[in-house]
Structure 1
Amino acid sequence: MKTKKLVTLYRESDFEREIGLPKRDGTGAYVDSRTPFRRDYARLIHSPAFRRLQGKTQLFPGIESDFFRNRLTHSLEVAQIADGIAIQLNTRDKNFSKHHIDTDLVQLAALAHDLGHPPFGHNGEYALDECMRDYGGFEGNAQTLRIVSRLEKRERNDTKSGGLNLTYRSLASLLKYDEPIPLISAQRKDSGKLVKGYYASETELVSTIKGAVCGNKRASDFKVVECQIMDLADDISYSTYDLEDALKAGFLTPLEIIHLAHTPEFLSKVTRKVAKAMDESIEPADVSKVYIEIFGGMVSEKLKDADFHKPVDLVKRISEIYSTSKRLAGDGHLRTAFTSELVKEFMAGISGQFNEKQPALSRVILKQETRLKIEALKHLAYEALIMSPRLKLVEYRGRDIVRGIFEAIDSKERGGHLLLPDDWRESYLSLESDELGRKRLICDFVAGMTDRYAVEFYARLTSVDSGLSFFKPM
């Protein structure tokens, strides 16, 4: 008679680490009474990479105002939403009620998901990818894995640095894309576009993670349930809170959004991106309907009893519509209530699908109509804001600064490596015959900069009479 295999969401091998295991006392119990994931959570919170998120752009540059979200506050909001999703699944799904998703692990994944973003957000990401195009590329998620597994100075042994030395399941929760990034641009399907994935230098580590988590080093479509929750929470946060910041900043009003819902060129751009994200056929009318459903209520309500034959009455109603639109943009209470309702609606569209054979790879499912709303709002913010002339100015400046710093340090003729801090310079010199390794080291250094630090570093390189002191360390 065969013994039924025990189904569990977490295996003993999930808790293993690259560099050793926690110490045990004489009874065999762990000296540290915290769970392995709680220990990982603490290591992340106390890391310099996590602190640096406060100085990295989310939507609006931090120098503009200290009110708008930065990468750190965004990550905290993603963690709260991810925690809520996990609790919802643990409470309402019969399988996850038996096999609870660890909320410490879910929060860790959310708090760490943007660690790899360079200064100036996606603009800095594109600039570094251009510099690294024939040396393994650059990508924020790949950099996150590299930071927590290699770059952070938490633990090391005689042969390598283990970064924060997180458990393999914690590392798995950060693996959003299960593909290696090609080493050279000629190997890319589209050489002009940024490639999502992990660096070739982490290929062996990824295989080890897969082996520990699901017993198969070559497992395909590898995305653990905690990573899926983090990814959904990130989309929900992006689609609602970036929009809230845009309303507060006066970049958008509900009336302008309704106008965009009837603008063919804008709808066409957004629809292409939404269709690609959802991997299905979407029509501009579907996207327009989302915007009108969310923002059109104020218009239909004010015009419901209007007498179109009385200009005075019509003008009065139009004035009321304009006033209501401005109120949502300018009233903090209304904005908070608005985004809160959206988050609540989006979370209600989430369910789980338990995988008996590979519980770690259980699926988190979002209703298609909910996914359409999230993607439509997410790309509304991008097309209406990121592509606007005012933020395009920031984009060009950010790309030039990141590229300029990289090229200055990479200049062999001028001894650019001497610009590096002592510990980075020593590591650079130890890679004498390793061109790829040196490029990656420079990339790591620049990617770790905050926006302000990058601006200051670049100013010292380029300003003739900036008044900046050379006594202040780089």
Structure 2
Amino acid sequence: MTKKSKTAIPGRLYTDLDVTRDVTVKSRESFDGQEGHNSEFRRDYARLVHCASFRRLQGKTQLFPGIESDFFRNRLTHSVEVAQIAKGIALQVNRSGVLGDQQINTDLVELAAHAHDIGHPPFGHNGEHALDECMRDHGGFEGNAQTLRIVTRLEKRETNSASGENRCGLNLTYRSIAAMLKYDRPIPQKDAARSKPGKLAKGYYETETSLIEKVKKAVAPSFSGDKFRTIECDVMDIADDIAYSTYDLEDAFKAGFFNPLEILSWSTKTEVMQKVANKVSEATGDQVDVNGVRDILFETFGGFMVNRSSAIDITSPVSFIEGVIAIYSQSKEAASDGFLRTKFTSELVKEFIRGVSVKANPENFSLSKIQVAKKIRLKIETLKHLTFEALTMSPRMRLVEYRGRDIVKTIFEALASEERAGHLLLPDDWRDAYFSAGDKPGKMRVICDFVAGMTDRYAMEFFARLTSSDNGHSFFKPY
């Protein structure tokens, strides 16, 4: 990188408008030894990691239900891993000099990473779909939109008035809010208005439209497009994909769902492989067929077996069988040995981070874009969708997720029942919020907020109290 290319991009990455807050507060002392913008972003980071919604992530499913084992990742540990990867990417970009003398604020990218999943309801994406179905005529539900609602409205930190009304959540700076805005579009109030009725609509709730407009005006005053996303949000998003494509795979190995040899042995004509190819093509914009997916998987996992496979003698039945057994044993060891699993995922993460770069935006410096090398992007998307199709959509996992979806819908419908005055089941503070809501969509949003904030265990306990049913089932038990 030449000196000229480092300094050729005009503008500033952070300005005084970035640290504007929706509710003006008295000037404060520097936070944690930092000054100016850094102090304000550090204050936001502290508010996030100390809030209740962040703590509740420890009780929400990432891949496997928490009741199965204390080894598997939950939403909290996943978010911590995403934050570590995001910080590593930011530091790499800062060292590259592409942004000139500007430096991505690492507190800001860590804040966005730690916050990215706090809007997810119990039972992962099935809980998300269940709540969206319940709210289809009242503004819908979506995890990213709920994250914004939590940090800007629901968290009990500051208010807009002395009476305690008009809560403004954590009252974060506009730049911190922008770092969480993955989808720059409002979710239609009615399900019929969506481009794909019945599908999750990504975006933010219409109730947050006014705030989002203020955020965008402060962070990028000259922006007039329809794809607003800050560089910190871009960093968080690719870090999430990297964590999902590696660490969820590691958990799948530990759980014994499959091992490297089983992945490589899948026929290129299986339904799983075709679905992975279709999703990778859609995500990358490149046409990828099942043979391309197979090649990526062989490149990723073939190293586990390469030493043993070269020793197989096909002319000797005994030697052939011994060689096959050796390869199978090596594959099983790779999945069951903690040292090998850790080394494998660690090397993948480092490879993926090295494939990340940045493209500066001279018109709106804050909207500079993260880029991923084509080969690395294909590998990330392949592993991500492989885990989803082969594991998340497997019969055992579908069973537990189906039950989770049913639990969420049952709770929501009970609380929303006007005939049985279901709102009286709400805790006192939530009941007050329900009565304060001006119309039915507002009342339904209060119920949705309450259910979405539940941990998996609390939702099962609440469901059990409603139905007098036993909630102690394990998805590992045969059915």
TM-score bin (small chain): over 0.9
Are 2:409 and 1:406 aligned? no
Q: 1:76 to 1:9 in 2, by over 3 A?
A: same
Looking at structure 2, the residues matched to 377 and 31 of structure 1 have their Cα atoms a distance apart, in angstroms, of 40
Residue 451 of structure 1 is matched in structure 2 by: 456
1:247 aligns with 2:253: yes
TM-score normalised by L of structure 1: 0.93
Which residue number in structure 1 is paired with residue 227 of structure 2? 221
Partner of 1:37: 41
Q: 1:461 aligns with which of 458, 463, 466?
A: 466
Residue 18 (1) aligns with residue 15 (2): no
Quote the Cα distance in structure 1 between the aligned partners of 2:256 and 2:356.
32
Confirm or deny: 8 A CA contact 1:405 1:457 kept in the other structure.
yes
Residue 444 of structure 2 aligns with an amino acid whose one-letter code is K
Is the counterpart of residue 373 in structure 1 residue 379 in structure 2? yes
After superposition, the C-alpha distances for 1:145-190 in whole angstroms (9 at most, x for unaligned) are 0000000010002262110000000000000011111111111111
Is 1:82 matched up with 2:86?
yes
Find the aligned partners of 2:230 and 2:429 in 1 and give their Cα distance.
36
The aligned counterpart of 1:471 is: none
Selected match of 1:110 from 109, 113, 130: 113
Q: Does 1:133 find its partner at 2:167?
A: no
**Aligned partners of 1:209 and 1:217 also within 8 Å:** no
Amino acid paired to 1:408 = A
Q: How does 1:132-281 map to 2 (within 5 A)?
A: 132-158=135-161, 160-216=166-222, 218-260=224-266, 262-281=268-287
Q: How far apart are 1:298 and its partner, in Å?
A: 3.3
Q: SS of the residue aligned with 2:108?
A: helix
Give me the CA root mean square deviation.
Answer: 1.8
For 1:97 and 1:5, how far apart are their aligned partners in 2?
Answer: 7
- Indicate how the Cα distance of structure 1 residues 216 and 62 shifts in structure 2: closer, same or farther if over 3 A, else same: same
Q: Deviations over 1:360-398 (max 9, x none)?
A: 000110011100000000011001111111101111110
Q: How far is 1:95 from its partner?
A: 3.2
Whether the 8 Å contact between 2:31 and 2:40 is mirrored in structure 1 is no
Query: Within the alignment, does 1:436 sit opposite 2:441 as a pair?
Result: yes
Cα deviation for residue 220 of structure 1 reads 2.1
Q: CA deviation at 1:192?
A: 2.0
Give the 3 Å change call, closer, same or farther, for CA 201–373 of structure 1 in structure 2. Answer: same
Per the TM alignment, residue 266 of structure 1 is displaced from its structure 2 partner at its CA by 1.7
What letter matches 1:367 in structure 2? Answer: A
Post-superposition, which runs of at least 4 consecutive aligned residues in structure 1 deviate over 6 A? 464-467
**1:49-92 superposed Cα distances (whole Å, 9 cap, x missing partner):** 00000000000000001110000000000000000000000012
User: What's the CA shift for 1:219?
Assistant: 4.0
Q: Structure 2: give runs of 5+ residues left out of the alignment.
A: 1-7, 473-479
Calculate the TM-score normalised by the size of structure 2: 0.93
- Measured after TM superposition, the shift of residue 357 of structure 1 is 1.6
Q: One-letter code of the match for 2:359? A: Q
Q: 1:238-274: CA deviations, max 9, x gaps?
A: 0000000000010111111102253432211111111
1:393 is matched by which residue type in structure 2?
L
* CA shift digits 1:187-223 (9 cap, x unpaired): 1111121111111111111101100100147542101
CA distance in 2, matches of 1:448, 1:124: 11
The runs of 5 or more residues in structure 1 that have no matched partner are: 468-474
SS of equivalent residue, structure 1 residue 61: coil
SS in 2 for 1:365: strand
The structural deviation recorded for 1:22 is 4.4
The match for 1:332 is 338
Give the number of equivalent residue pairs. Answer: 458
Change in CA separation of 1:216 and 1:437 when aligned onto 2, cut-off 3 Å? farther
Whether the aligned pair in 1 keeps the contact of 2:138 and 2:190 (CA below 8 Å) is: yes
Distance change in 2, residues 1:315/1:450 (3 Å): same
1:66 paired with 2:58, answer no
- Counterparts of 2:356 and 2:219, CA distance in 1: 24
* 1:465 Cα deviation from its structure 2 partner: 8.9
Name the CA distance, whole Å, in 2 between partners of 1:175 and 1:271: 28
**One-letter amino acid of the structure 2 residue matched with residue 437 of structure 1:** G
Contact 1:180 1:200 in 2 (8 A): yes
Q: In 2, Cα distance between the equivalents of 1:31 and 1:248?
A: 42
Question: Deviation digits for residues 412-442 of structure 1, max 9, x if unmatched?
Answer: 11110011010110111122x5001001110
Letter of the structure 1 residue corresponding to residue 23 of structure 2: I
Q: Distance in 2 between matches of 1:389 and 1:5?
A: 52
User: Deviation at 1:297?
Assistant: 2.7
Q: Aligned-pair distance for 1:33?
A: 5.3
Tell me if the contact between 2:304 and 2:334 (Cα under 8 Å) persists in the aligned partners. no
Identity %: 58
Larger mean CA deviation between 349-358 and 58-67 belongs to 349-358
